[in-house]
Structures are given as C-alpha cells and as structure tokens.
Amino acid sequence: MSYSVEELSRLSGVSVETLIYYDEIGLLSPIPTTVTANGSSIYEESHLLKLQQIMLCREVGLTVDEIRARIGQKMDNTDKLSFHKERLLGKQYRIQVLIDTINYTIDYLKRGNELSHQRLYDGFDLTLQDQERTQTPYNNSTKPSTTEHSEEANPKWSKDDYLNTQREADRIYIDLCNALEKGEDPGSPSVQMVIKRHYEWVSHFYTPTKEIYSGLGELYVDHEDFKQLYAGYHPQLAQYLRDGMKIYAEQQM
C-alpha cells in the first residue's frame, strides 16, 4: 500500500511541512518517479519504516545530522529497533519508579504513615540534578560533567559513539553467555567485572541508583520483550544477568 505525503502526515502525525523538509534534505525522500494525479509524491512501506526510525531518534533529541548518520548505518533494522526498545524499556522502568515515589510521598502527606527519608529519592536521574551546577558560570571546577555520558542529557553522539555502544552491549552479553556456559557463579569476580561493564553501559543513558539497577534486572526476567531479546543469546541469560546485577547493586552501590 502506498501513501501520498498528506496521507502519510495523517497516518504518522508528522506535519506535511516536516515531511517535505525531510525530502528536501534527503532524509526521507519518496519515490521520485511516481506521483499521484495531483502531483503528490508516493511513500511506500519502506518509507514508513524509515520514518519510524527518524521519529525514534527524535524521541531522544537527536539533530537532523545525527539522525542522518544513524539512518545511513549498514545495520539490520531489527537490531536498530532492539537497541531503541531496550533503552526505552529501561527508561519506562525508571519513570515507573518515579511514579511510585510520588505515590509514596502523597500517601505519607495524606495519611501520615511512617516515612523512609531515603525512599523520597528513588528513581531520580542524578546526572540531571548536577546539570545546572556544571553549566553555571559560577562553577570553577574543571572536572567534566557526568552528563557527558548520558544521551538523554547530551544527545550529540557521533555515528561511532552509537555503534560502539551497541557493540559493547553485544560483547557484554556474549561474555556473560560464555561465563554461563562455563558454569561460573554470577557473583564471581570475573562475572562481576562484566556486570560492571553492563552498569557503565546503562549509565550512558541515565545514572541508575542501587534500587533502579537491581529492579532493572528483575524487569529483564519479567518483561516479555526483554526475555525475547536475551533468549536470542542464551535461554538463561536474562536470569543470569539479573542475578549478577543484584549482587553488583548490593556489593558495589
């Protein structure tokens, strides 16, 4: 099935003006030799899938040039989507924890229940809390901001940055599968070194607290999308990663 630019706009919610702009800059160009009776260019299914990729990149604040670099990567579309999905699910979990924190605080304010002060701060991305301080002219420190390692806080990643994060995730999962096959305990020093790399990989996108990181491991086991993702590496990888993350959170965070 094919669509005119007006039809694609209604279908996707992206304005006609933006779609025309994407065409003008070569980001999303319709079939050049096929036009409708009124002169409107035609978009086919491949264009719809490409537009979805563009919109996903926009969700994390990428510029047009950064999107063009990602769209042009020679990578299977399912790999690109899996990468987006894993990050969004992790973000979804963090937001849910924040909602739980708000509900906990409201419950305390209304009912005067016993209050855990530390519980007031579950779910926050701590890199964002330091962002204004690190950008203010009153800060004389030369120490680089931790937000430089968060795509949500600083989305200006290069093509190589993006590819490297995906390669690192793949290496982490393969190394864990090898350890799993060898029968290594998830709490062993060698496995925990791999888990540390996983924690650092997650920290590219937001800084997880102890509770967030441990809870993310549970999500890997419970959520069907995550289960399918890790089952592609090894049927027991999700559980193995979860156990390693829980140990790391308890011992290192």
**Domain chopping of the chain, boundaries:** 3-71, 77-124+157-252
* Mean pLDDT score across all residues of the chain: 77
Residues pairing with 41 in the sheet: 35
Is 3-71's fold the same as 77-124+157-252's? no
Query: Helices marked H in the chain — which ranges?
Result: 5-12, 16-24, 45-59, 64-71, 77-111, 126-129, 131-135, 159-181, 189-202, 210-222, 224-231, 237-252
> Both ends of the chain: CA-CA distance in Å?
52
Fold designation for 3-71: Multidrug-efflux Transporter Regulator; Chain: A; Domain 2 (1.10.1660)
Residues pairing with 42 in the sheet: 4, 31
Report pTM. Answer: 0.49
Are the beta carbons of 77 and 53 closer than 8 angstroms? yes
CB environment 45-69: b (16+ within 10 A), e (fewer): eebbebbebbebbeebebeeebbbb
Give 126's pLDDT tier (boundaries 50, 70, 90): low
Segment 179-231, tens digit of pLDDT: 999 999 999 999 999 999 999 988 877 778 888 898 889 888 988 777 877 88
Q: What is the mean pLDDT of residues 93-104?
A: 75
Q: What element of type H or E holds 42?
A: strand 41-43
Unique residue bearing structure tokens 């399918």: 228
- Rounded distance between C-alpha atoms, residue 28 and residue 159, angstroms: 18
pLDDT of residue 96: 72
Q: What is the mean pLDDT of residues 7-24?
A: 89
Q: Is the pLDDT of residue 132 over 50?
A: no
Fold designation for 77-124+157-252: Globin-like (1.10.490)
- In the three-class reduction of DSSP (H, G, I as helix; E, B as strand; rest coil), residue 3 is classed as strand
